[in-house]
Amino acid sequence: MLATKSNNAPAIEQSRTDNVVVSIRNLKKAFGDREILNGVDLDLHESENLVILGRSGTGKSVLIKCMVGLIVPDSGQINVLGRDVFTLSAREMNELRLQIGFSFQGSALYDAMTVRENLEFPLKRNLGIFEKRKLDEMVMTALDDVGLAHAVDQWPAELSGGMKKRIGIARTLILKPKIMLYDEPTAGLDPITSMEINELILSVREKYKTSSIIITHDISSARTTSDRIIGLINGKNKIEGTFEELKNARDPDLEPFFKY
Amino acid sequence: MDIKKGLVQVAEVSTFTKRVFRDFFFPPYEVKEIIRQCFMMGNKSLFLITFTSFLVGIVFTKQSRPSLASFGAESWLPSLVAQAVVRSLGPLVTGLICAGKLGSNIGAELGSMQVTEQIDAMEVSGTRPFSYLVVSRITATTLMLPLLVVYSDILSLLGSFLTVNIYNNTSFQLFFNEVAVNITYTDIFSSLIKSAFFGFAIGLVGCYSGYHSDKGTTGVGKAANTSVVVSMMLIFVIDLLSIQFINLFR
């Protein structure tokens, strides 16, 4: 159902009752005098693909970086898998991060390591797995899931943009996260590769039962991957609903996306 | 730079340094990565240190010889060179070379990782990049500098011996006997400790500039440049302070 933001957002505890895995209330963040997030509220439900749609510079990436503690917000509440992220110790935050996969806009592959080493790195460091046979098995499974098993011994510099995105996703999937955060997954890719990435996002949910937040300004990606869309305008979640609902709403801030 | 900004930076560097010590003493210990970094850093600097140290020995001997000869004190040449090389020239030359070679490398490498979000990616996957990237590199520079200084001293003395031998036909044994007699344990240990401080400064400055590099390609260049300039300045400051301190024991 189409909804616009209410000023009386429900308390965070109330929202947890309904299989909510991420709950954000009144999140604010400014860089100097520039307000980026200006009171964002959102809930992500279990196995849901939630798309955050908005123009560049509206704070979409800042929002998901706040969720994993990469950026500290000025005020507000973020609750991930039942834990308030601002009250966690460094060790607890690390434990929580293992349950969140983050796919970066630029893939962020470690360029001093091969694809195999990129995928082995979190396994060795987080799970203490050093047995070669087991590492190989886990690496190949993750690469198979993104259709790039043949690239296992290549260097990041030898990969195309789409391949890098897929390997980046495989590197997060190898830890079997419960939540996936995709930061502009199709940015800079051709339409066919974008479509492949969108299908990959759907298949990841199918296989790994993840709940996902997808940050994008790519309307075709939003249409393919979303169960629900939130329109982030001027640092606020202005409107939310399904793709069709938002398309028919003819909101002046979001209409240009649908016309494009 | 205004005062407030400067003070904020001092506070940030202090917090960074405190974190280095905390992560060094608490697990996980990055032994494998430290060994790898030590090998890489030693390997990277070896050729340049071999080349420059040998030449420094030759040049210093050639420049000192006429002055000593005018007093009829040419036989003091090995002791003069030994003291100059072990006490000051060896650590200083090695420190400056490593500041240029290793400092810029660390600054650019970590800066580029920061710009391309690789450090963020490590952070969000719970892999504790600080101990892996920063503590290992600072430990490696702190451990390797004294070793490289010993190597540099030996090569400078060999260069000096070659020069002395050409002019005076002095034997290898006689030259190095003179060197050994005129070098004290205080000279050797103070030189090694000073070098370890040089290494720590190079690693710390390189890692700090890289880890906090601005976004964009200019950020990487700035990080590399800052690493070299600041660590070179610190080397001279540490050298000056160490001379003041060591003179208390002489």
Q: Which of B125, B131, B220 to mutate to test the interface with A (most CBs of A within 10 A)?
A: B125
Q: Is some CB atom of chain A closer than 8 A to the CB atom of B126? A: yes
- The whole-angstrom separation of Cα B65 and Cα B169 is 14
- What mean pLDDT, rounded, does chain B reach? 92
Kindly state the tokens that stand for B239. 């050298």
Tell me if ipTM is over 0.95.
Answer: no
pLDDT on residue A249: 83
Predicted confidence (pLDDT) per residue in A18-64, tens digit: 699 999 999 999 998 899 999 999 999 999 999 999 888 889 999 99
Asked whether B204 and B20 are in contact (CB, 8 A), the reply is: yes
Of the pLDDT bands very low, low, confident and very high (cuts 50, 70, 90), residue A1 is low
d(CA B34, nearest CA chain A) in Å: 15
Residue of B nearest to A101 (CA): B125
Cross-strand partners of A22: A44, A80
Choose the closest CB to B120 out of A70, A94, A111: A70
Domain boundaries in chain A?
17-109+178-259
Q: Is some CB atom of chain A closer than 8 A to the CB atom of B15? A: no
Q: What does the pLDDT average to over B62-90?
A: 90
Contact B127 A106 (CB under 8 A): no
Of the pLDDT bands very low, low, confident and very high (cuts 50, 70, 90), residue A9 is very low
**Helix/strand/coil (H/E/C) assignment for every residue in chain B:** CCHHHHHHHHHHHHHHHHHHHHHHHCCCCCHHHHHHHHHHHHHHHHHHHHHHHHHHHHHHHHHHHHHHHHCCCHHHHHHHHHHHHHHHHHHHHHHHHHHHHHHHHHHHHHHHHHHCCHHHHHHHCCCCHHHHHHHHHHHHHHHHHHHHHHHHHHHHHHHHHHHHHHHHCCCHHHHHHHHHHHCCHHHHHHHHHHHHHHHHHHHHHHHHHHHCCCCCHHHHHHHHHHHHHHHHHHHHHHHHHHHHHHHHHC
pLDDT on residue B75: 84
Q: Which of A103, A105, A110, A117 to mutate to test the interface with B (most CBs of B within 10 A)?
A: A110
Residue of A nearest to B129 (CA): A125
Contact A104 B117 (CB under 8 A): yes
Task: Kindly give, in sequence order, each residue whose CB lies less than 8 Å from that of residue B103, ignoring residues fewer than 6 positions away.
Answer: B202, B205, B206, B227, B228, B231, B232
CATH class of the domain comprising A17-109+178-259: alpha beta
Contact A102 B127 (CB under 8 A): no
Asked whether A237 and A40 are in contact (CB, 8 A), the reply is: yes
Please report residues of A whose CB lies closer than 8 A to that of B123. Answer: 68-70, 97
- The whole-angstrom separation of Cα B201 and Cα B231 is 6
If one counts the domains in chain B, the total is: 1
Is a pLDDT exceeding 70 seen at residue A96? Answer: yes
Could you tell me the residue range of the domain that residue B206 belongs to? 3-249
Q: What does the pLDDT average to over B50-65?
A: 95
Q: What does the pLDDT average to over B62-70?
A: 90
